[in-house]
């Protein structure tokens, strides 16, 4: 079974870890190939180093070395370099970079500097974390540098700041007018991205941020069309419980793009390709009329443990297999 998933950082990574757990316990892992298309809109250059927060969160989580409490960064981390940089007065100081984590960024930057494309760099990092042995291929959505920026007004002056500055430094507390994604319109999908969607048996949308994680991947030219055209059922998991994100500020991101912070609002962003949609048991979303929206499944969606995430992933796969037979016979306009 070829499973393709689009993923951001923490929400995506925890879902994927659950998916692998589910595949292992149902003895399906030797038959399953999981391809993850990761968001690179969060990428940022700090101290001359290229940092890919969402890809790294997936690598560390699937590699068993993530800081569980934070959901990102390495466990058992030290911060000697950051302390020394602060003593030098180097900026920015609002983005935490641990010593072990820095090795990833140094290695990535070295290879990128030698002209190695991000997808090839990511493959080498994935080797380090044992992803191939786990049946996982991690692809950045594109090899082109793409950066999400946020247009904000401060002291009456409008300017664009990097998404990380808005999210990490300001906690999304400065009013955002809109998101501008530098480089996205001309970004070619990384090698294998469109094929992974077109040739999949199942496409999964983990509960990643619909605007600044999944939404950015959908903006890579060709990705949305591939999703609309794939014969694989596309099944998503709502990132909202009770209309609110479990962590982070997806509600503010949705408001910024003029979409209601609800599972129905998020499903609307995926309306042209979404076949199945997992929402929390008591979610307010109404069951769409057959053919006019995704098939809904209501169940607990809190990934409170690896097992809880595995059960959610299992439910997504089971909905996909129900939808597969139906979808195989139809073709989409």
Question: Rounded to the nearest whole angstrom, what is the least distance from the CB of residue 282 to Ca ion in the complex?
Answer: 28
Among 71, 50, 46, CA closest to 60: 71
d(CA 314, CA 312) in angstroms, rounded, equals 5
Q: How many helical (H) and strand (E) elements, i.e. helices and strands, does the chain have?
A: 12, 14
Q: Which is nearer to Ca ion, 8 or 314 (CB)?
A: 8
Q: The tokens of 323 are what?
A: 């939808």
Contacts to ligand GDP by CB under 6 A: 7-12, 54, 57, 207-209, 213, 237-239, 241, 245-248, 250, 301-303
Question: Rounded to the nearest whole angstrom, what is the least distance from the CB of residue 264 to Ca ion in the complex?
Answer: 23
Among 252, 260, 248, 246, CA closest to 300: 246
208 touches, from ligand GDP, Ca ion, none (C-beta below 5 to 8 Å by class): ligand GDP
Q: The tokens of 163 are what?
A: 């998404």
Q: Give bridge partners of residue 179 from the DSSP assignment.
A: 150
200 touches, from ligand GDP, Ca ion, none (C-beta below 5 to 8 Å by class): none
Question: Rounded to the nearest whole angstrom, what is the least distance from the CB of residue 208 to Ca ion in the complex?
Answer: 8
d(CA 287, CA 297) in angstroms, rounded, equals 9
Q: Which is nearer to Ca ion, 9 or 293 (CB)?
A: 9
Question: Rounded to the nearest whole angstrom, what is the least distance from the CB of residue 311 to ligand GDP in the complex?
Answer: 12
Question: Rounded to the nearest whole angstrom, what is the least distance from the CB of residue 242 to ligand GDP in the complex?
Answer: 11
Question: Rounded to the nearest whole angstrom, what is the least distance from the CB of residue 332 to ligand GDP in the complex?
Answer: 27
Pairing of strands 234-237, 276-279: parallel
How are the residues of the chain apportioned to helix, strand and coil, as percentages rounded to the nearest 5? 35, 20, 40
* Residue whose beta carbon is closest to ligand GDP: 11
Q: Which is nearer to ligand GDP, 147 or 327 (CB)?
A: 147
Instruction: Please name the residues in contact with 220: beta carbons below 8 A apart, sequence gap of 6 or more.
Output: 141, 142, 146, 184, 187, 188, 189, 193
Q: Which is nearer to ligand GDP, 34 or 111 (CB)?
A: 34
Q: Which is nearer to ligand GDP, 21 or 54 (CB)?
A: 54
Q: Which is nearer to ligand GDP, 213 or 230 (CB)?
A: 213
Contacts to Ca ion by CB under 5 A: 8-9, 42, 54
111 touches, from ligand GDP, Ca ion, none (C-beta below 5 to 8 Å by class): none
């Amino acid at each position: 079974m070829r499973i393709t998933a689009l993923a951001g950082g923490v929400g995506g990574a925890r879902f994927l870890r659950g998916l692998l757990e589910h595949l292992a316990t149902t003895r399906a892992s030797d038959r399953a190939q999981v391809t993850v298309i990761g968001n690179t809109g969060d990428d940022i250059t700090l101290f001359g180093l290229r940092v890919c927060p969402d890809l790294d969160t997936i690598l560390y989580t699937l590699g068993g070395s993530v800081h569980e409490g934070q959901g990102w960064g390495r466990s058992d981390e030290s911060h000697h370099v950051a302390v020394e940089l602060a003593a030098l007065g180097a900026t920015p100081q609002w983005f935490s970079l641990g010593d072990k984590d820095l090795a990833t960024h140094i290695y990535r930057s070295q290879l990128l500097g030698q002209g190695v494309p991000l997808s090839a760099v990511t493959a080498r990092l994935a080797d380090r974390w044992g992803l191939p042995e786990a049946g996982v291929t991690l692809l950045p959505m594109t090899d082109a540098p793409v950066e999400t920026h946020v247009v904000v007004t401060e002291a009456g002056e409008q300017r664009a700041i990097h998404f990380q500055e808005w999210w990490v430094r300001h906690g999304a507390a400065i009013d955002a007018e809109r998101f501008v994604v530098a480089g996205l319109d001309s970004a070619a999908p990384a090698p294998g991205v469109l094929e992974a969607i077109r040739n999949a048996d199942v496409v999964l949308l983990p509960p990643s941020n619909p605007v600044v994680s999944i939404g950015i991947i959908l903006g890579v030219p060709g990705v949305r069309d591939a999703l609309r055209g794939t014969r694989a059922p596309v099944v998503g998991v709502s990132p909202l419980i009770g209309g609110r994100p479990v962590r982070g500020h997806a509600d503010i991101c949705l408001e910024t793009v003029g979409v209601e912070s609800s599972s129905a609002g998020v499903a609307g962003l995926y309306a042209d390709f979404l076949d199945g949609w997992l929402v929390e048991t008591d979610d307010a979303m109404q069951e769409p009329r057959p053919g006019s929206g995704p098939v809904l499944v209501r169940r607990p969606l809190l990934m409170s443990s690896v097992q809880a995430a595995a059960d959610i992933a299992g439910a997504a796969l089971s909905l996909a297999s129900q939808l597969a037979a139906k979808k195989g016979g139809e073709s989409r306009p």
